């Protein structure tokens, strides 16, 4: 019989890992701080919608779950940018509509995964809030009592208590960087006919420098909106202290959104303000007995839509390594740590880059020219040039390779935008030579193909 595994954290990654390990015949106990979210009214106000992309889809397909998950998603094919007067511009994500992201409710997805893990035989203990963890002994100190576990995986999020126990050991390094921005959920209800009141194929973005509003569609015709503001300073959460200030702020910054947010002021003051930050730590494991996964190992800001997808890819890689090393955790965990840590650091950096892009650059003419050039190149020779965004979202190319390729692409785009002011006038033959001389050798060195 395989040694039992205790997973702390019954969120998306913890529940998917529980199912994955049960499929490998591991005895699994899943400890979750919350009550069972499938029972009673769902907690609201703090559930940024998620996008499922290729890495997450691959993980779900491995467990024969993608069809069930796809049924609760909405396909999103691009960004719809809203300017100060309400004018809109659509920016497609991929080379065509077949490349799309899938918007999904965090709560609905979590409930589905918990049910699947339970059906596969995982024991789930709700209302088990972890207070402390001793990596050397495997002691888990819950509010409800103490448990000693032979093997522990911490999937307990950015404020992980399992990580705290691991970081207390000699030589461990932890770096937590707060973004200085928070977020608040707001709901765009469905139109009177039950359909989406805005374009339902798009992620809607109102970029305003340090502030930003976003909306992702739901199957019921609503959008889950998320407001991002600095914690302090002008136009910050600290400044919006009464209804009149909130109303005036939205009318000034997001004029076309206001009619679509009928409960704006009530939701603004009732819904909690979430924090945003990046967690980097090392190591992610201790001997063959403790590992971190998902946000517990590598929390990232949500602006590349990869937090969940990266965590699901952790589960994929862990499963592949268990296959490769015949379930020998003494070999699996160091290999898992070595493979995932550089890629998690890469997506953390790219997520912050994308935050700057979405809030400041998406309406800039020079930025839009770069995007049009990239789109033209992807159409002209897709097996040789795909944007960094495409590689991250529509492939399983390692994040660190995507990051390196993106740096090369940025230099090429700098040169191309100095040559033309219209993407249609770019010399494609010359651009292709630039790609083959600069980008192609890098991709070949890393064994990467863009045929996806």
Give alpha helix (H) positions in 288-424: 295-298, 307-324, 329-356, 365-380, 388-394, 399-419
* pLDDT tier, 362 (very low <50, low <70, confident <90, very high otherwise): low
Element (DSSP H or E) covering residue 101: strand 101-104
CA distance 22 to 375: 43
**Mean pLDDT (the chain, rounded):** 94
pLDDT tops 60 at residue 43: no
Answer yes or no: are the C-beta atoms of 122 and 28 closer than 8 Å. yes
Tokens of 198: 């805005």
Q: Which residues pair with 213 in a beta bridge?
A: 206, 227
pLDDT of residue 148: 96
Burial of 390 (0-12, 13-18, 19+ CB in 10 A): buried
Spatial contact of 301 and 277, defined as CB atoms under 8 Å apart: yes
Task: Tell me what pLDDT residue 179 has.
Answer: 93
- Is 280:299 a contact under the CB 8 Å cutoff? no
Nearest CA to 69 out of 128, 120, 118, 12 is that of 12
Q: How many helices (H) and strands (E) does the chain have?
A: 14, 19
Distance in angstroms (rounded) separating the CA atoms of residues 9 and 174: 20
Instruction: Give the highest mean pLDDT range of 30-44, 150-164, 343-357.
Output: 150-164
CA 183 to centroid of chain Cα atoms: 15
Asked if residue 129 lies in contact with residue 33, where contact means CB atoms within 8 angstroms, the answer is: yes
For residue 402, pLDDT over 90 is answered with yes
State yes or no: pLDDT of 51 exceeds 90.
Answer: yes
CA end-to-end span of the chain, whole Å? Answer: 40
**What is the Cα–Cα distance from 15 to 34, expressed in whole angstroms?**
13
What tens digit of pLDDT does each residue of 406-442 get? 999 999 999 999 999 999 999 999 999 999 999 999 9
- Strands in 247-295 per DSSP E: 274-282, 285-286, 290-292
Q: Is pLDDT larger for residue 41 or for residue 36?
A: 36
* pLDDT value for 355: 84
Predicted confidence (pLDDT) at residue 95 exceeds the cutoff of 80: no
- The answer to whether the beta carbons of residues 167 and 40 sit under 8 Å apart is no
Beta strand 274-282 with 130-134 is unpaired
Question: Collapsing DSSP states into helix, strand and coil, what is residue 202?
Answer: strand
Give the pLDDT confidence of 294-340 residue by residue, as tens digits: 999 999 999 899 999 999 999 999 999 999 999 999 999 999 999 99
pLDDT at 89: 87
Give 250-274 pLDDT, tens digit per residue. Answer: 999 999 999 999 999 999 999 999 9
Amino acid 48: pLDDT: 67
Q: Is the peptide bond before 329 cis (omega within 30 degrees of 0)?
A: no
In which band, very low, low, confident or very high, does the pLDDT at 47 lie, cut at 50, 70 and 90?
low
Q: What is the pLDDT of residue 143?
A: 96
Give me the phi and psi of 174, to 5 degrees please: -130, 135
Contact 7, 17 (CB under 8 A): yes
Convert the pLDDT of each residue in 106-150 to its tens digit. Answer: 999 999 999 999 999 999 999 999 999 999 999 999 999 999 999
- Partnered with residue 292 across adjacent β-strands are 154
Question: pLDDT per residue over 179-213, tens digit each?
Answer: 999 999 999 999 999 999 999 999 999 988 889 99
């Amino acid at each position: 019989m395989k040694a039992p595994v205790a997973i702390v954290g019954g969120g998306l990654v913890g529940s998917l890992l529980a199912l994955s390990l049960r499929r490998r015949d591991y005895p699994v106990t899943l400890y979750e701080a919350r009550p069972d979210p499938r029972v009673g009214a769902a907690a609201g106000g703090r559930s940024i919608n998620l996008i499922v992309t290729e890495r997450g889809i691959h993980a779900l397909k491995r467990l024969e779950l993608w069809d069930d998950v796809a049924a609760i998603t909405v396909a999103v094919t691009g960004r719809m940018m809203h300017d100060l007067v309400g004018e809109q511009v659509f920016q497609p994500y991929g080379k065509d509509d077949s490349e799309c992201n899938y918007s999904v409710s965090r709560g609905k997805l979590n409930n589905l995964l918990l049910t699947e893990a339970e059906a596969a035989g995982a024991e789930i203990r709700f209302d088990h809030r972890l207070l402390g963890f001793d990596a050397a002994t495997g002691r888990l100190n819950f509010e409800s009592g103490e448990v000693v576990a032979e093997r522990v995986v911490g999937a307990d999020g950015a404020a992980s208590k399992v990580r705290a126990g691991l970081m207390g050991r000699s030589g461990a390094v932890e770096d937590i960087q707060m973004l200085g921005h928070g977020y608040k959920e707001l709901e765009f209800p469905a139109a009177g006919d039950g359909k989406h009141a805005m374009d339902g194929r798009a992620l809607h973005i109102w970029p305003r420098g340090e502030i930003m509003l976003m909306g992702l569609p739901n199957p019921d015709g609503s959008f889950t909106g998320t407001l991002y503001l600095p914690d302090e300073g002008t136009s910050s959460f600290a400044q919006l202290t009464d209804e009149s200030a909130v109303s005036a702020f939205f009318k000034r910054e997001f004029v076309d959104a206001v009619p679509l947010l009928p409960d704006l002021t009530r939701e603004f003051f009732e819904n909690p303000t979430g924090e945003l930050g990046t967690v980097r730590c090392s190591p992610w494991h201790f001997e063959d007995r403790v590992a971190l996964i998902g946000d517990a190992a590598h929390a990232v800001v949500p602006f590349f839509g990869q937090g969940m997808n990266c965590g699901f890819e952790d589960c994929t890689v862990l499963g592949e390594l268990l296959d490769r090393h015949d379930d020998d955790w003494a070999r699996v965990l160091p290999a898992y740590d070595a493979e995932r840590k550089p890629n998690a650091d890469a997506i953390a950096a790219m997520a912050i880059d994308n935050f700057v892009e979405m809030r400041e650059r998406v309406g800039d003419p020079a930025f839009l020219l770069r995007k049009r050039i990239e789109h033209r190149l992807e159409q002209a020779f897709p097996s040789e040039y795909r944007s960094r965004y495409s590689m991250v979202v529509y492939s399983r190319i390692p994040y660190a390779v995507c990051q390196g390729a993106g740096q090369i692409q940025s230099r090429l785009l700098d040169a191309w935008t100095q040559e033309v002011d219209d993407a249609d006038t770019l010399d494609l033959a010359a651009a292709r030579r630039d790609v083959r001389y600069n980008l192609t050798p890098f991709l070949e060195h890393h064994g990467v193909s863009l045929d996806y």
